[in-house]
Structures are given as structure tokens and as C-alpha cells.
């Protein structure tokens, strides 16, 4: 293959410093490459000026955007709006918390309040509590299953601008009525954001029910292999996402790296296959635990005796790969159980092809105040299990020996 000669070849340093590109620039790789560059070149100073003035589109700086980021953003937009008469814009971040932080900063102003579900991801609670004082905002936690209580709060607190929900919830595995919540939020001139990490867009499309913003920790099911960090924020207000939210991401420098976006794209290719297997395995594990004498309760939306089963069946395509269960012996029983685990892996994450297990009260939700944890069902005897795609009998055998 012929290559272009460098413009300057007087010295070895010039030859090694300048990239020598193939003359045939029409080559299209089957798998998208990693664009590991911080900046992008322009054919002329006139074009550079037009780009910076916003009169012409082009990549400028990888903190602003880059090809790997835009590839996964377009893919998630298609997933979240598939089959819907809805437009949306997605932005990818360096983590799920990067997405949540940007949502917080773009929607809320000093004096505003956020009405948040009480049983959500521990670091989300930690973020809201920690930064509310700095941003001069108020955080109110409530039970999002109690719509009458929510309406009373909204009627009394005129400064609530954002409702923040998570369904299925982490780690109690409750399901919440997205259509009712979005209607309630809009009635009181507020926006509704939903963390869709547990379900993924394959199992649930919050935009279908009128939700304004969708959050993902893409580190979990969307990547699927635990190989990199990433997060998404999706919004139905395309202009707001493209201007206000994008600018905060640019200024904070919280865009996903090209390498992590490349890994994310590879993971997203098998999302449907993995999610089907996660759901099948989780149902089998939930049924096993439901019959075990050492287990007090099992929280899995696929079980018909779960209080939210009917709602989840209407709102989701399937019931997901995460469940939680309460051991009769409380914290001491959890400690004994986790020490005996062999096949399942003890870690604070979820959504990978491997089965992951953890104790929320001492791990992912440790920074949530104890009273709040217990009020919303996150007890010292609760175990969270993210069921992988292995042979489910291996998972069940490990749980059975650890529960003896």
C-alpha cells in the first residue's frame, strides 16, 4: 500500500514525529478503531475558525467529543427510543456518577429542591447529601410508591424542580410507576429523571412513560464485562441536552475516554443476548432461594408473590438479573455466608457476565445514614446478588453450600 511522504524529511526527528497516513483513505474497518488523539487537525485556518464559531461541525478536542463517544451515544439513543415516537439525545460520561452530577448541575439552581427516592444507589445518596449544601439546594427523600405523599410534598414545596427515581431500585428491587411519576412531576412543573441501570434499555424504556431524563451506569450491563467505566445521560429535550448539558460536561471534563467508549461499544453488541440469559438465571436462583429455610425473604420482580410483580410485568420486557434476599440470622449470618462463597465473586459492582455478590449495608450503601437505610428496607441482613450468565447450577450449588 502506498503512503504519503511527510512534508519535511530533512531530519530523522521530523520523520518520526509526523504520522505517515495511507493514500487510500477510503478504507472502512469492520470494527470501529480507538481514536486515541487529544486534538484534531484542520485543512485551513478558515475552516478552523468556522468550526470554533459553530458554523461548521468537526471534532475539536477529545474533552469536547470524539468519534468513539458519538458512536455509543447514537447507539444508546436508538436503544432508548426503539419503537417509540420519541426523539432523544444521549451524552456519554466517564462514569454513571459523572452523568448524575451533570444532571444535578444542569437542572438545579441555588434555592431549588430535588425530591428523591429513598432506596437508591448509595453513592447517589452520598452525592445529593454532600453537594446540596455547596450548591445551596435541598434534598427530600420519600417513598415513591406513595403517590399521595409525593403530591402533598410537591404541593407544599414549590421549589422542587427534579424528581429522581430508580426502578428497579438498588438494592431492594422495588418497581415504581413511571407513567404516574412523570404525570405527577409535570403537573407541578418539575422534571423526572430515572436511573435505568438495573433494567438497561433492552428491558425498559423510561421515555415511553413520559420520563424526561434517563441515567445509566454503563459500567454495568451496557459494558457487561466489568472492563471499563462509563455512564450515560439521555434527555428528551434534544436542544437542552445538546447545549446546556453538553457544555457542563465539556467544562467539567467528564466525557468517557476513547478506550472506555470502545470497550462499551463492544459490550453493547451483545446486550440482548446477555440480558436474556441474566433474566433466565436470576429467575432460577430466586426460586431456589425462595424455598431455602435460611432465607427470610427474596426480592425479585419475577416472583409472582412480589408486591410489584404486576407493575414490572407491564413496564418491563423481563425482570432483570439482580435480586436481593434477607437472611434470617441478620448481619452475623451474612458475614458467615459471604466467607463461605467460592464461585460467586464478592464485589460492590453488578451487571457483568460473572455472578457478583455483596452486602449493601457495609459496602455499596455504607455511606447512606443507617436510619435512612433501614427506613427504606436496606437492612443489615440483606444480601444483593447480580446473577451472571454462567451455568446457573454452578451458581445455585455455591449458594447452597454457603447457606449450610
Among 42, 47, 50, 63, the one annotated catalytic: 63
What's the DSSP call for residue 27? -
Q: Which among 320, 277, 349 has a CA at the least distance from the CA of 168? A: 320
Q: Is 260 a catalytic residue?
A: no
Q: Name the residue with cell 452530577.
A: 101
Enumerate residues 6+ apart whose C-beta is below 8 A from 245.
91, 102, 103, 106, 233, 235
Enumerate residues 6+ apart whose C-beta is below 8 A from 192.
162, 163, 165, 178, 181, 182, 185, 186, 210, 211, 212, 213
β-partners of residue 322 are 386
**From CA 191, how far away is CA 64, in angstroms rounded?**
26
Q: Which among 60, 78, 106, 97 has a CA at the least distance from the CA of 256? A: 97
Enumerate residues 6+ apart whose C-beta is below 8 A from 31.
none
Residues 87, 238: contact at Cβ < 8 Å? yes
**From CA 278, how far away is CA 218, in angstroms rounded?**
16
Q: Is 121 a catalytic residue?
A: yes
Q: Is 63 a catalytic residue?
A: yes
Q: Name the residue with cell 530533512.
A: 10
**From CA 232, how far away is CA 100, in angstroms rounded?**
9
Sequence length of the chain is: 404
Q: Which among 333, 17, 321 has a CA at the least distance from the CA of 170? A: 321
Q: Which among 122, 210, 215, 125 has a CA at the least distance from the CA of 167? A: 215
Among 161, 195, 277, 300, the one annotated catalytic: 195
Among 121, 141, 164, 221, the one annotated catalytic: 121
Q: Are strands 160-166 and 113-117 parallel, antiparallel or unpaired?
A: parallel
Supply 25's cell numbers: 483513505
Among 75, 161, 191, 220, the one annotated catalytic: 220
Q: Is 195 a catalytic residue?
A: yes
Residues 318, 279: contact at Cβ < 8 Å? yes
- DSSP assignment of 225-265 equals SS----EEEEES-HHHIIIIIHHHHHHHT-BPPHHHHHHHH
Tell me which residues are annotated as active site: 63, 121, 195, 220
Amino acid at each position: 500500500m502506498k503512503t504519503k511522504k511527510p512534508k519535511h524529511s530533512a531530519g530523522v526527528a521530523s520523520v518520526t514525529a509526523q504520522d505517515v497516513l495511507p493514500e487510500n483513505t477510503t478504507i472502512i474497518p469492520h470494527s470501529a478503531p480507538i481514536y486515541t488523539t487529544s486534538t484534531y487537525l484542520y485543512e485551513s485556518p478558515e475552516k478552523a475558525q468556522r468550526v470554533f464559531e459553530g458554523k461548521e461541525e468537526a471534532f475539536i478536542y477529545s474533552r469536547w467529543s470524539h468519534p468513539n463517544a458519538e458512536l455509543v451515544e447514537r447507539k444508546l439513543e436508538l436503544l432508548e427510543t426503539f419503537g417509540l415516537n420519541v426523539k432523544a439525545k444521549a451524552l456519554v460520561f466517564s462514569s454513571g456518577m459523572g452523568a448524575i452530577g451533570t444532571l444535578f448541575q444542569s437542572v438545579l439552581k441555588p434555592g431549588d429542591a430535588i425530591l428523591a427516592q429513598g432506596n437508591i444507589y448509595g453513592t447517589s445518596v452520598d452525592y445529593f447529601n454532600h453537594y446540596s449544601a455547596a450548591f445551596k439546594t435541598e434534598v427530600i427523600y420519600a417513598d415513591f410508591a406513595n403517590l399521595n405523599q409525593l403530591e402533598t410534598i410537591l404541593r407544599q414545596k414549590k421549589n422542587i424542580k427534579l424528581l429522581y427515581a430508580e426502578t428497579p431500585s438498588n438494592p431492594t428491587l422495588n418497581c415504581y410507576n413511571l407513567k404516574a411519576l412523570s404525570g405527577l412531576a409535570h403537573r407541578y412543573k418539575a422534571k423526572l429523571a430515572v436511573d435505568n441501570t438495573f433494567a438497561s434499555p433492552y428491558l425498559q424504556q423510561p421515555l415511553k412513560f413520559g420520563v424526561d431524563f434517563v441515567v445509566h451506569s454503563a459500567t454495568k450491563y451496557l459494558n457487561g464485562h466489568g472492563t471499563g467505566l462509563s455512564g450515560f445521560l439521555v434527555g428528551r429535550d434534544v436542544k437542552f441536552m445538546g447545549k446546556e448539558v453538553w457544555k457542563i460536561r465539556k467544562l467539567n471534563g467528564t466525557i468517557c475516554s476513547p478506550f472506555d467508549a470502545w470497550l462499551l461499544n463492544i459490550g453493547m453488541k451483545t446486550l440482548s443476548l446477555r440480558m436474556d440469559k441474566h433474566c433466565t438465571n436470576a429467575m432460577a436462583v430466586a426460586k431456589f432461594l425462595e424455598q431455602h429455610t435460611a432465607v427470610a425473604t427474596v426480592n425479585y420482580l419475577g416472583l409472582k408473590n412480589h408486591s410489584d410483580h404486576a407493575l414490572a410485568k407491564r413496564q418491563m420486557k423481563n425482570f432483570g438479573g439482580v435480586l436481593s434476599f434477607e437472611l434470617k440470622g441478620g448481619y452475623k449470618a451474612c458475614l458467615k455466608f459471604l466467607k463461605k462463597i467460592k464461585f460467586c465473586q464478592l464485589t460492590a459492582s453488578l451487571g457483568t457476565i460473572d455472578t457478583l455478590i455483596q452486602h449493601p449495608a457495609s459496602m455499596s450503601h455504607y455511606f447512606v445514614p443507617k436510619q435512612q437505610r433501614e427506613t427504606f428496607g436496606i437492612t443489615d441482613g440483606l444480601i444483593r446478588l447480580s446473577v451472571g450468565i454462567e451455568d446457573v447450577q454452578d451458581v445455585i450449588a455455591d449458594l447452597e453450600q454457603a447457606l449450610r
